[in-house]
């Protein structure tokens, strides 16, 4: 009958299909997905470039704002004290500004590895100072210039740098000098300073930088007892928070010798 013949033909076709699928000459094949062609979108590229430029400008704006706030904090009355004087003779202030611009120019000549290392190191120290605030941590991660300005500005405003902390004993002076020597050896393991570490760009400026450092140390010794005590406390806290590693012995040394804590530097040897 037509129905039986149709059923038989259907069974024969299914048998052929099954046999063909299981045949070693025609193995089963999974369906191949069509490849998606990604074309270059000029408009999207322009938008991404514009977004990067906007974020870079925002990063610079935040960094300048933080620097201005810390300057206002360091000199609340609007008058710089003798410790903040940029020079002790005529023309020294202009030379310091020229050296600062020269240092910024030399920093741009660093290798990508050095830039990345300093970026992550500054970000790490900024997050430590973020007061456990998620919003501040997000800003430091997104804006590297902001994190660098925050670390430097707070260090200068709180006077936790080795230039400001005055040792009170021979032992503390020795410990601070030993730590400073180790930090320099780590920053320049080969013994040859790179172009970014040059103190000046013309003859005589290196000596002027050394004289300025000695003048800063001399002016720091003229501070009041209250200010010295506060700065020593700030330096010890800075060492415990950033370089203590949860070690009781290191924290004890930082508390006993705050000048050695102020001499500690990041692994990137940046400021």
**pTM for the whole structure:** 0.70
More confident residue, 137 or 204: 137
pLDDT grade for 81, boundaries at 50, 70 and 90: low
Query: If we measure between CA atoms, which residue out of 117, 122, 74, 128 comes closest to residue 240?
Result: 128
Q: Is 191 exposed, middle or buried (0-12, 13-18, 19+ CB in 10 A)?
A: exposed
Please tell me the predicted confidence (pLDDT) of residue 171: 92
Most confident of 13-27, 44-58, 73-87, 158-172: 158-172
User: Tell me, what's the pLDDT at 19?
Assistant: 44
When mean pLDDT is compared across 67-71, 82-86, 133-137, 247-251, the lowest value belongs to: 82-86
| CA distance linking residue 207 with residue 36, whole number of Å | 65
Report the range of poorest mean pLDDT among 122-136, 213-227, 244-258: 213-227
pLDDT tens for 110-142 read 788 888 888 888 888 888 888 888 888 888 888
200: confidence class by pLDDT, cuts 50, 70, 90: low
Residue 271's pLDDT is 47
Q: Which of 36, 16, 34 is nearest to 26 (CA)?
A: 16
Query: For the chain, give me the number of helices (H) and strands (E)?
Result: 11, 0
Q: Which pLDDT band holds residue 62 (cuts at 50, 70, 90)?
A: very high
Query: CA-to-CA distance for 52 and 44, rounded, in angstroms?
Result: 12
Counting every residue written for the chain, the total comes to: 271
Question: What mean pLDDT is predicted for residues 49-56?
Answer: 82
Q: Give pLDDT, residue 117.
A: 84
Q: What is the dihedral of CA 17, 21, 23, 25, to 10 degrees?
A: 110
d(CA 143, CA 151): 13
- Quote the CA–CA distance of 262 and 160 in Å, as a whole number: 5
Out of 14-18, 118-122, 267-271, pick the least confident: 14-18
Mean pLDDT value across residues 142-152 = 88
For residue 161, pLDDT beyond 90: no
């Amino acid at each position: 009958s037509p129905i039986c013949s149709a059923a038989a033909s259907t069974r024969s076709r299914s048998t052929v299909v099954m046999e063909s699928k299981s045949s070693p000459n025609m193995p089963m094949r999974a369906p191949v997905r069509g490849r998606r062609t990604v074309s270059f979108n000029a408009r999207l590229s322009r938008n991404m470039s514009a977004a990067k430029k906007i974020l870079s400008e925002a990063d610079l704006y935040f960094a300048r704002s933080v620097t201005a706030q810390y300057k206002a904090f360091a000199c609340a009355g609007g008058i710089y004290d003798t410790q903040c004087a940029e020079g002790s003779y005529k023309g020294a202030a202009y030379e310091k500004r020229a050296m600062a611009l020269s240092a910024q120019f030399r920093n741009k000549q660093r290798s990508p590895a050095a830039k990345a290392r300093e970026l992550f190191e500054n970000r790490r120290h900024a997050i430590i100072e973020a007061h456990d605030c998620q919003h501040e941590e997000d800003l430091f991660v997104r804006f590297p210039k902001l994190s660098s300005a925050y670390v430097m500005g707070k260090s200068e405003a709180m006077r936790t740098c080795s230039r400001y902390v005055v040792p009170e004993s021979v032992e503390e002076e020795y410990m601070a000098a030993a730590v400073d020597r180790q930090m320099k050896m780590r920053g320049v393991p080969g013994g040859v300073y790179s172009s970014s570490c040059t103190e000046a760009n013309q003859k005589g400026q290196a000596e002027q930088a050394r004289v300025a450092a000695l003048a800063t140390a001399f002016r720091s010794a003229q501070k009041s007892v209250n200010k010295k005590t506060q700065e020593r406390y700030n330096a010890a806290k800075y060492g415990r928070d950033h370089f203590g590693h949860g070690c009781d012995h290191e924290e004890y040394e930082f508390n006993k010798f705050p000048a050695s804590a102020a001499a500690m530097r990041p692994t990137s040897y940046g400021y």
